[in-house]
């Protein structure tokens, strides 16, 4: 689900988008997105909402005051009041798998030439460059 701002403030500038990922201060539904940002070396803001247990290990006693306040303000309406939510220059995206697909397409295409170069370099180091295939399905001849 995508929620566009009412006043379209997105510009056609060439500056990279500002990403803000909001999720609880835990692993879970946002972890794959965090990995995608990390391996592509893409800067982003990792906004972690605190969780506290009144009784350790008893999930029925979780206190999440910051999340509850943001939910009350309507910050997570785009995701049916659930997290994770990714904010990209004022546009909000919800649902973990939709966020993962979006981030993979946006940031990994930038990293693909670097990863491809590293893979081909490793193949050459092993002596297997004759059979290497480039990103367009063409044979990479040494």
Q: pLDDT-derived band of residue 62, with 50, 70 and 90 as boundaries? A: very high
pLDDT reading at 69 higher than 80: yes
pLDDT attached to residue 21? 98
pLDDT > 70: what percent of the chain?
A: 68
Single out the residue of 12, 15, 42, 24 nearest to residue 102, CA to CA.
Answer: 42
Q: How far apart are CA 57 and CA 45, in angstroms?
A: 29
Q: How far apart are the first and last CA of the chain?
A: 46
Q: Using 50, 70 and 90 to split pLDDT, how confident is the model at 11?
A: very low
At 40, the pLDDT band (50, 70, 90 cuts) reads confident
Q: What percent of the chain has pLDDT over 90?
A: 57
- The residues, ordered by sequence, that sit 6+ positions from 46 with a Cβ below 8 Å of its Cβ are 21, 34
pTM over 0.75: no
Query: Tens digits of per-residue pLDDT, 72-117?
Result: 999 999 999 999 999 999 999 999 999 999 999 988 777 666 665 6
Is the bond preceding 84 in cis, omega lying within 30 degrees of 0? yes
Q: Which residues contact 5 (CB under 8 A, 6 or more apart)?
A: 90, 91
- Using alpha carbons only, what angle is made at residue 17 by residues 12 and 20, rounded to the nearest 5 degrees? 145
Can you list the alpha helix ranges (DSSP code H) found in 11-132? 31-39, 65-73, 96-126
């Amino acid at each position: 689900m995508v929620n566009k701002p009412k006043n379209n403030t997105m510009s056609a500038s060439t500056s990279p988008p500002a990403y803000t990922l909001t999720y609880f201060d835990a692993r879970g539904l946002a972890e794959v997105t965090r990995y995608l940002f990390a391996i592509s070396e893409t800067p982003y803001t990792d906004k972690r909402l605190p969780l506290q247990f009144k009784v350790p290990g008893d999930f029925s006693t979780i206190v999440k005051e910051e999340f509850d306040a943001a939910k009350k303000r309507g910050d997570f309406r785009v995701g049916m009041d659930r997290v994770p939510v990714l904010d990209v220059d004022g546009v909000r995206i919800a649902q973990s798998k939709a966020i993962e697909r979006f981030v993979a397409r946006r940031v990994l295409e930038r990293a693909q030439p670097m990863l491809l170069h590293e893979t081909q370099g490793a193949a050459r180091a092993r002596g297997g460059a004759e059979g290497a295939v480039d990103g367009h399905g063409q044979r990479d001849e040494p």
